[in-house]
A and B are shown apart, each in its own frame.
Chain A
Amino acid sequence: MSTDLRDLYQEIILDHSRKPHNSGHLDEATCEAQGNNPLCGDRISVYVKLDGDRIQDAMFEARGCAISVASASMMTDMIKGMTVDDAKAAHARFLELITDDDPPQLADDDQLAALIGVRDFPTRIKCATLPWQTFSAALDGGADEVTTE
């Protein structure tokens, strides 16, 4: 496998896509939103349970590619226990990491590091960002479906 392909499909990504964490409906969700990539038909629902301004629990249901499912799995792992502001900051940092020309430095143990390979696959960036966009929409009320287009 070529190097950049291995960067994209790292073992951790494949693991998350095969056995996603936090997959399923969250009955006690206090907010939720739906996301859609009309170009490929991928769909995701993100459920969040807030306790004050803290994210007590987060789950998702997705029909999508390895990148979007792994991204959703890692995202829900990461945001659980965060405050809303910290989670929003994590979203902003994730976008910077995979889309900015001059991305911020990563710590070795950074939970977002696994998905940085997607930078080299411009057609796949939306797969990685859709879960985060949908999460963000859930926090904002989730009235309209999020779309990548």
Chain B
Amino acid sequence: MNVINGGYPIDEIRKDFPILSEQVHGKPLVYLDNGASAHKPSTVIEQIKRTYETGYANVHRGVHHLSQIATDAMENARRKTQDLLNAADEKEIIFVRGATEGINLVASSWGRANLKEGDEIILSVLEHHSNIVPWQIVAEQTGAIVKVVPIGDDGTFLMEDYKKLLSDRTKMVAVTHVSNALGTVVPVTDVIRLAHEQGAVVLLDGCQAVPHISVDVQALDVDFYVFSGHKLYGPSGIGILYGKEALLELMPPYQGGGEMIDRVTFEKTTYAELPFKFEAGTPHIAGIIALGSAIDYVTGIGFDAITAHEHDLLEYATERLQSMNTIDILGTAPEKAAILSFNIEDVHPHDVGTILDHSGIAVRTGHHCAQPVMDRFDVAATVRASFGLYNTHDEVDALIEGVRKVQEIFA
């Protein structure tokens, strides 16, 4: 659907998501855990069904009709992803299981081929564990050193500290585009430019960016970009690694197997061309095709409209929470996207989560796989409300009502 004139078509959008009419503990579902995983529109659900019912077989192998249909559909999804990210070439789009696998692929393949003792990898305090641990593993294997950019009290990425960490020893800068725990938007254009001035390569974790804002990998000039399909209203088990062709060409394979080979003998095996060199084994065929449908869905609404709608929700929710007593919002950077992390004084987030759940409100409570962020603010956990394109102001009101109820119980 296209947003042409007038308001955001929220009623039509909500009808596209069957799960939104479910009840939880007898209350209408208020789903504010989109940062963990988003729900799927009917077009995505139907596409999975249609693939298995009419267009499924293994890809890139058979000469038979169904194999050709499945292969075409999968490659069509690759082109949709290319368009979504504005990648220069479709072979720069690698299908992986999720962002985690994408980062592991780069850390393992690029890292082991390019890092040596004393080289430096720069991360930030904002990182999800999946953009920390793979680098720690490759650092241990190669003797490289991990350096960490600190964040300010409001959760901003501290650019001056980043500049001080950068040097000709810096070989990789791997940072998040949008923080999953705080919602901070990292000034990635400057991060990338400064890294390139030192000859370093940049990987961005785009999990919390791609569902909310328009991403152009060529305009950013980013070297690697990863995201997960399930946060973009697509299936779980499918993710994307974008890499510049010149870099991917020079990288050794990550996993060996079928699909990724050119010719195998026991004396020597030659590898397939991009992107197949990095796609060993039978992929998540139906998932990839359905991710294409998810991309159609979000681009149909348009990122201008989605970003504006979610920004509006975030501002409204922030204002309402700020006006309440005993609420501590974590992450108040000027540039934020779709995520609101907070704590209620003297109440543990798990207790908040349980009480909200009983009002049908789904939020994430815990450390959000970002323990360094929790340590930075000296908390064990937070409550995180994360918005998606289908959330409403009424749902923000329900959240506020739920928070009031928690305060009453723990008063």
Chain A contact residues, CB within 8 Å of chain B: 1-2, 4-5, 8-9, 14, 18, 39-43, 63-67, 121, 123-124, 127
CB of A15 to closest CB in B, whole Å: 11
Q: A8 — which chain B residues lie within 8 A by C-beta?
A: 354
| Contacting pair B351 A66 (CB below 8 A) | yes
Chain B residues near A41: list those with CB within 8 A.
Answer: 366-367, 371, 374, 380-381
Q: How far is the CB of B340 from chain A (nearest CB, A)?
A: 19
Q: Across the two chains, which residue of chain A brings its CB closest to B410? A: A14
B91 → chain A closest CB, angstroms: 39
Q: Which of B362-403 contact A (CB under 8 A)?
A: 365-367, 371, 374, 380-381
Distance A21 CA – B346 CA, assembled complex (angstroms):
17
Report whether A40 and B381 are in contact in the complex, using a CB–CB cutoff of 8 Å. Answer: yes
Taking CB atoms, residues of chain B closer than 8 Å to A124 are: 350, 354
Q: Nearest chain A CB to B325's CB is how many angstroms away? A: 17
CB distance from A27 to the nearest CB of B (A): 25
Q: From A5, A66, A121, give the contact of B348 (CB < 8 A).
A: A66
Query: In the complex, which of the residues B25, B350, B351, B374 contacts A2, with contact meaning CB atoms closer than 8 Å?
Result: B25
B261: CB under 8 A from chain A? no
New contact pairs (13) apart from A40-B380, A64-B380, CB-CB < 8 Å: A1-B409, A5-B409, A9-B351, A9-B409, A40-B349, A40-B366, A40-B367, A41-B371, A43-B380, A65-B348, A65-B349, A65-B350, A67-B351
Let me know if B347 is at the binding interface, CB within 8 A.
Answer: yes
- Please name the 4 residue pairs, one residue from A and one from B, whose CB atoms are nearest each other, closest first: A65-B348, A65-B350, A41-B380, A41-B367
**B279 smallest CB distance to A (angstroms):** 32
- Whether A123 touches B354, Cβ cut-off 8 Å, given contacts A9-B409, A14-B409, is yes
What's the minimum C-beta distance from A120 to chain B, rounded to whole angstroms?
A: 10
Given the interface pairs A1-B405, A14-B409, A63-B380, the reply to whether A40 lies near B350 with Cβ below 8 Å is yes
For A40, the chain B residues whose CB sits under 8 A away are 349-350, 365-367, 380-381
Known contacts: A14-B409, A14-B410, A41-B374. The answer to whether A5 contacts B350 by CB under 8 A is no
Smallest distance from the beta carbon of A135 to chain B beta carbons, Å?
20
Complex CA gap A8/B354 in Å reads 10
Compute how far the CA of A123 lies from the CA of B351 in the bound complex, rounded to whole angstroms: 11
- Nearest to B405 among chain A residues (CB) is A1
10 A–B contact pairs at CB < 8 A?
Answer: A2-B358, A5-B358, A5-B409, A9-B409, A40-B366, A40-B381, A41-B367, A41-B371, A43-B380, A66-B351
Q: Which residue of B has the minimal Cβ distance to A43? A: B380
Q: Which residues of A contact B165 (CB under 8 A)?
A: none
B409 neighbours in A (Cβ, 8 Å) = 1, 5, 9, 14
